[in-house]
Amino acid sequence: MKIALAQLNPIVGDISGNCLLILKATEQAVSLGADLIVCSELVVCGYPPKDLLLREGFVAACDRAIVQLSKSIPAGVGLIVGHPTHWNVPSNRIANGASLVADGRVLATVHKLLLPNYDVFDERRYFRPADRIAPIQFHGMRIGLHICEDAWWGEPDTFHHTDPIHFPDPVADLAAAGVDVLINVSASPFAANKPARRESILRRHTNRYKVPFVFVNEVGGNDDLVFDGHSIVLDSAGQKVSQLKSFQSDLEVVDLKQLIPLPEAEPDPVPAQLLDALILGLKDYMSKSGFKGCVLGLSGGVDSTLAAYIAAEACGAENVHGIMMPSRYSTGHSVEDAEALATRLGIDAQIVPIDAVHKAYESLPIIGSDLAISRAGLADQNLQARIRGAIVMIRSNQHGWIPLATGNKSELAMGYCTLYGDMAGGFAVLADLYKRDVYAICHYINEVRECREVIPHNVLVKAPSAELAPNQFDQDTLPPYPVLDGILEGLIEREESIATLSQSFPLETVRWVATRLDRNEYKRRQMPPGIKLSARAFGSGRRMPIVARFEIE
């Protein structure tokens, strides 16, 4: 049997548009001789649909779409497609399902058994797990169809226990029932190095059960999640025989009778993975939201520099609008570095000095007196950031461009950012990148991706500074970024204690960072959405109380 892997980029809620994508992929696959087309998890409605699932009529519309798809594909051809469903679920509840359709009929529907309820996943809120899982048949083959998390049984950091009484291993049950091929349809979001982890999980199954494994994943950005695709086929010995493109829609047909191993290839380095995820995430957030252009402040610093590069790659340089907003404390090289970047990227960049507006605030009754209490103090520094934020928002409102916030994860963790200032925006491009990652990606761009100095050299070597006060540098307020990022990774990604982290970092520094991290939760609750890149991103995957008094030891 020839199986087509259809790696598609759906839009959440766009049932008719997603079905057109499926039919177009089916047409292409049939022209290539495919007998069976396999699409990703919940592709009919897009993943994650969240509370759209609770809206009256939504799931029923998805079920009707499956029936219509069954009548729209050529005779003799099968299509496996993921969708939420009321079919075979008691009390009109919802299942995360995948159906096999052919010859105008729905031949079989399977339900997801293991419902993830960790990190960004909240599937127990919506879905009822399968009562059982069993092979389905098509063209004389027994197919072990299962959905995403069903292949992750026993993996660390997942929601379910390995107790077979309460949480059986779906793949083991399918293999025990006898299958000719295992097929997993997924909506597995990207995180750094996750493609390699998924591949090792699939190889574990092929090594154990000695049958080929077909894995089809969603691709594209939906809100804060980006899906890398990376769909693959392994033969019964665990060798890779097909690898679809990462971070773009793709389709490939594999003949199960002729599985030829691919040459071994090194995975992309982490900076390349992160950059591709950022570009796709921003591109889809803008296009699926109806934005053509974007606007951002260009400070001449490394964060806004990287954000501008990502924006130019995501929506085209002609659609990126930068604003250089020097203050009385700005250094000459800030504007020069920003101008050099704009020239190299070919983006629009305008200079709007803010000192006149700053002086206007200083002349106001009461406000001027408050600012005079501490020249270049916190209120004055935040005022400058808010003036800049207001200027960006004016251009956004007037021209319909999405405003981009450019703060990184290190700054957001420490509250080294200003509400309604540099945090203002419709999308926070770098919100899940530590400062070290920002530098690593910039070096990768110059040295590998572009093979030329797109990111100005001075941006990469000068000391980071907000330039909101005389001779101000980040390291006057924060620990050195290599130290800070190491501590933050332990606190955020691994939830380590102060005692554990103090074995690697100075105790007082760890205490200070931990306290600042907790105290600035209120700021992060008001930040724009950003792209999840790590195991624990701020937002839906890390849900901390704002008002709390627990102090870790």
What is the identity of the amino acid at 38?
A: V
In the set 19, 39, 112, 417, the catalytic residue is 112
Helix/strand number for the chain, H first, E second: 18, 19
Alpha-carbon distance of 227 to 7, in angstroms, equals 10
Tokens found for residue 103: 């010859």
Listed in sequence order, the residues at least 6 apart from 206 whose beta carbon sits closer than 8 Å to its beta carbon are 182, 212, 213, 234, 235, 236, 237, 238
What is the identity of the amino acid at 220?
A: G
Alpha-carbon distance of 481 to 473, in angstroms, equals 12
| Residue entry with tokens 């709390």 | 548
Other C-beta atoms lying within 10 Å of the C-beta of residue 448: 12
Alpha-carbon distance of 393 to 372, in angstroms, equals 27
In the set 39, 45, 148, 442, the catalytic residue is 148
- Is 112 annotated in the active site? yes
| Closest C-alpha to 548, from 522, 512, 510 | 522
∠ CA 407-408-410, rounded to 5°: 125
- Is 41 annotated in the active site? yes
In the set 41, 123, 496, 521, the catalytic residue is 41
Per the document, the length of the chain is 553
- Is 148 annotated in the active site? yes
Spell out the SS3 assignment of 189-249.
Answer: ECCCCHHHHHHHHHHHHHHHHCCCEEEEECEEEECCEEEEECCEEECCCCCEEEECCECCC
Other C-beta atoms lying within 10 Å of the C-beta of residue 92: 8
Alpha-carbon distance of 486 to 483, in angstroms, equals 5
Taking phi over 0 as left and psi of -120 to 50 as alpha, with beta for the rest, 539 belongs to left
**Which residues are known catalytic residues?**
41, 112, 148
